[in-house]
Structure 1
Amino acid sequence: MSLNVDDRLRESDWLRAPGIQAVFSAVEQEGDEARTVGGAIRNTLLGYPVPDVDIATTARPEIVMKRAQDAGLKPIGTGIDHGTITIISGGFPYEVTTLREDVETYGRQARVVFGRDWEKDARRRDFTMNALYADRHGHLHDPLGGLEDCLARRVRFIGDPDARIREDYLRILRFFRIFAAYGKGELDREGLGACLRHRDGLRQLSAERIGHEMRRLLSAPLAAYALKMMNDCGLWEIATGGLARIEDYEALRLLDEVARETRDPELGLVVLAGFVREDLERICDRLRLSNAERKRMQTAWAVMKKLRNSEAFPEAAALTYEFGKQATVDGLLAIWSGRIARNSADRGAFSNMLSAVRHQAVPEFPIKGADLIASGHKPGPALGKLLKHLESEWITSGFTLTRQQLLEHSRPES
């Protein structure tokens, strides 16, 4: 088993990259060691992409800075007070953190003690599957026996779950998020119990940190199950300040293989929290969502509302012209999660409509105010009213009226 694991690590593209090997060469001097740790190893062993690579080292942060500079690399003291240096090598950023131990925590304030003991460093981490290390040659180091949990996709806190959570209450959300991304079976009972006992600790976290973690959770494959468990434990309401339509979200995620948008956090939040428009505003503020995320949620909700109030699906061209293609797709998926998921008679119509929208070219109104002025109309409020009238006629015609026909309809009186 270990040989197979070492082979997988050794053959991984990210570990063989010249950039990371240059970091190892720079840091590993005068008896210091460096090892990759956490997500890169976990993802490699489970067959997931590796978006970033963290490195742990026995070298102190100021020494890491100097050695990187001397090697011609670019070090940045992103978190030097906590022992973390970002080193740019081969155009890729690597976070290099000095081993830590005996950290006294006061909420998010901590007294960091640097060390050289790999097992003590591992015991300060969150989950067993994240406490795996590998040297530059791909040899796995497993000080806490986390390999078995990783391969079995068991998400377990290291040591006492209550102690791990008290160190940082964000680990409550990370417990559900890591499970949603990599887990299998049921949530660990001890971990779940600790999350329940310390749920009020979520109230101490900043909106930005909660929002960042919730976005990542909503994108994960098992988000529906994880969110259901969070909701059952009262964690969703504490984190978001509102109620959740879990059944609707479960129905939405049944379409994961049909529509890539089902994993987008914006659409997920519309389905989970969009009882009324004010709910969207509340959750956008609560999670500190960006203006772009807020706008997408608002337009998706508008489409969903229109479809909810319609006895039959409007034409695809009409919806895409009014709301845009992305919002129309979002609205269709959102309405599926409610009415249609519980009405098999609507499913065929929904499927046809979704396909039509995806292939629909968004209609473009063929005339502008300048065209009307060129044909003899005077600028002013009346011109704007005429343009809106012509646009309405064009929409009513099913977008079939041509530019010439519209101009003929608008000829000024002699």
Structure 2
Amino acid sequence: MSLPQTLPTQAWANTPAGVDLLAALEAEAGETRLVGGAVRDGLLGLGGADIDLATRFAPDEVMRRVKAAGLKAVPTGIAHGTVTVVGHDLVAEVTTLRRDVQSFGRHAQVAFTDDWREDAARRDFTVNALYAHLPDGVIDDYWGGLDDLSAHRVRFIGDPLLRIAEDHLRILRFFRFSARFAGQVDADGLAACTARANDLMALSRERIAMELRLLLALPDPVATLALMLEAGIFRPVLPELDVARLPVLVQVIVAEAAAGLSPAWERRLAALLPPGETRVAAEIGARLKLSNARRIRLVAAVQPAGPAPYWPMAYKDGGEAVVDRLLIAGDAMAAVPLIGWHRPRPPASGKDIIARGVAPGPEVAKRLGAFERAWVAAGFPNDTETVAALLDAAVQS
């Protein structure tokens, strides 16, 4: 793959707020440069990455210059050198060049520096340590990131074992970026991640859930997940994930595309779990500290789709749950009519039962339930004649 020699023009850099920010931080003189995902993805022709700027200016000086330019400066991580800049249609993080003094798994004691190579050396992967001068887009590459990006290769900067010891989340990030670029997985990185897989136990479950979400939401993470499961990467934190279920995940990905749906990571996670094991799904949802809505979706998705017609099940469990089950079963055609489906309201109430001579009390609820079951089985009719007939039958049963 041939990459451009310079970073293409960044639209945000030509907005009034972008021009003011870059001028305030002397970007044209090289004192501040774009770094990380925006450079990496920009060279690949992708968009949407966050705007991260690295600068030689100390955090207090960044604050002073940004405010003087009429922009808002928020000291979101000023102890570690990060200031968030907010302007019209612009949010950017500006971080002073740093070097690690001491690392503690997910936290580091840093010292500020004016050495670009030192700042690059503390980053995780070579493809994330590319700096772009603005506005001309000239790239500074201290660790061979351009060659790795061309080869779609994710490679740790320096000793992979040491880099993982500094930040355990890098294990999951290594696989996620490898899956995203769909290139050959770096052997040294894979060996280091395998050796240090137990380090994942020290991470917060929210962090693990975030990386898992980002990985599963990629267009096709199957090959990378196969490597991870075979190497035992998830075993310390998610031993329930089953490599034997990968063909089911393949089936889900194909079915999603056939149904015209975007990837849903909860659905894909459910595909990797033992079918029908709602207790296991609930335990994983709790362990990953998922929101209640996501836990409910995960538990619902591992249940069987059951026989057609699917409307009664959709009425009971919700259309989304049945769509998930059908896609896990690989039945995109059956899922399509239920996409975006919302449960209709019954066209009758207890008053209609009472009007037919049933005395107020428990019997009304019983008869109304009978009506609702018959109405669902009939396909949710709304015409007056059919509804009246179903009400009469419920009262007389």
Shared fold per TM-score greater than 0.5: yes
Match for residue 143 of structure 1? 142
Distance 1:371 1:77, change over 3 A: farther
Alignment partner for residue 354 of structure 1, among 327, 335, 343?
Answer: 335
Please name the residue that 1:36 is paired with.
Answer: 34
Structure-2 residue corresponding to 1:287 = 288
Cα separation, partners in 2 of 1:255 and 1:373, compared to 1, 3 Å? same
Aligned equivalent of 2:327: 333
Instruction: Give the Cα–Cα distance (whole angstroms) in 2 for the partners of residues 269 and 199 of structure 1.
Output: 20
CA–CA separation in structure 2 for the residues paired with 1:328 and 1:2:
44
Instruction: Give distance in 2, aligned partners of 1:360 and 1:71.
Output: 50
Q: Which moved more, 1:28-37 or 1:224-233?
A: 28-37
1:153 maps to what in 2?
Answer: 152
From 26, 34, 51, give the equivalent of 2:24: 26
Q: State how 1:162-173 maps to structure 2 within 5 Å.
A: 162-173=161-172
> Are residues 15 and 316 of structure 1, via their aligned partners in 2, closer, same or farther at CA, if it must alter by over 3 Å?
farther
Deviation sequence 1:196-247 (CA, Å, 0-9, x none)? 1111111111111111111111111241111111101111222324232223
Name the counterpart of 1:317.
311
Following superposition, the deviation at residue 3 of structure 1 comes to 9.3
Deviations 1:71-96 (A, max 9, x none): 22111111111111111122332111
Find the residue that maps to 2:388 and give its secondary structure: helix
- Structure 1, residues 254-301: CA drift from partner, whole Å, max 9, x if none? 345324556211101111124401111111112111112112222323
Equivalent position amino acid for 1:5 in 2 = Q
Quote the sequence identity (%): 39
Q: Does 1:277 align with 2:278?
A: yes
Richer in helix (by share): 1
Cα deviations by residue, 1:291-327 (Å, 9 ceiling, x for unpaired): 121122223234xx242xxxxx412433432332222
* Distance 1:215-1:376 versus aligned 2 partners, 3 A rule: same
For the Cα contact (< 8 Å) 1:317–1:363, is it kept in 2?
no
Distance in 2, Cα, partners of 1:45 & 1:375: 72
Instruction: Give the C-alpha shift of residue 5 in structure 1.
Output: 3.3
Q: Distance in 2 between matches of 1:41 and 1:30?
A: 16
Question: For structure 2, which runs of at least 5 residues remain unmatched after alignment?
Answer: none
Once residues 361 and 163 of structure 1 are traced to their aligned partners in structure 2, the CA distance between those partners, rounded to angstroms, is 52
Alignment size in residue pairs: 390
Q: Distance in 1 between matches of 2:358 and 2:234?
A: 58
Matched residue of 2:289: which SS? Answer: coil
CA distance in 2: counterparts of 1:159 and 1:33, whole angstroms = 26
| The one of 362, 365, 373 aligned to 1:381 | 362
Residue 365 of structure 1 pairs with residue 346 of structure 2: yes
Q: Which amino acid aligns with 1:182?
A: F
Judged with a 3 Å threshold, the aligned counterparts in structure 2 of structure 1 residues 213 and 194 are, in CA distance, closer, same or farther, namely same
Match of 2:250 in 1: 250
Q: CA RMSD in A?
A: 2.6
SS at match of 1:5: coil
2:338 maps to a residue whose letter is V
Aligned partner of 1:56 in structure 2 is 54
Gaps of 5+ in 1: 308-312, 337-349
1:266 and 2:273 matched:
no
Structure 2: how far apart are the matches of 1:234 and 1:396? Answer: 47
The alpha-carbon deviation at position 330 of structure 1 amounts to 0.9
> What secondary structure, in the 3-state scheme, does the structure 2 residue paired with 1:86 have?
strand
2:8 and 2:106 map into 1 onto residues whose CA distance is 36
Q: Compute the displacement of 1:194 (Å).
A: 0.6
Question: Following the alignment from structure 1 to structure 2, what is the Cα–Cα distance between the partners of residues 10 and 72?
Answer: 27
1:84–1:97: 8 Å Cα contact kept in structure 2? yes
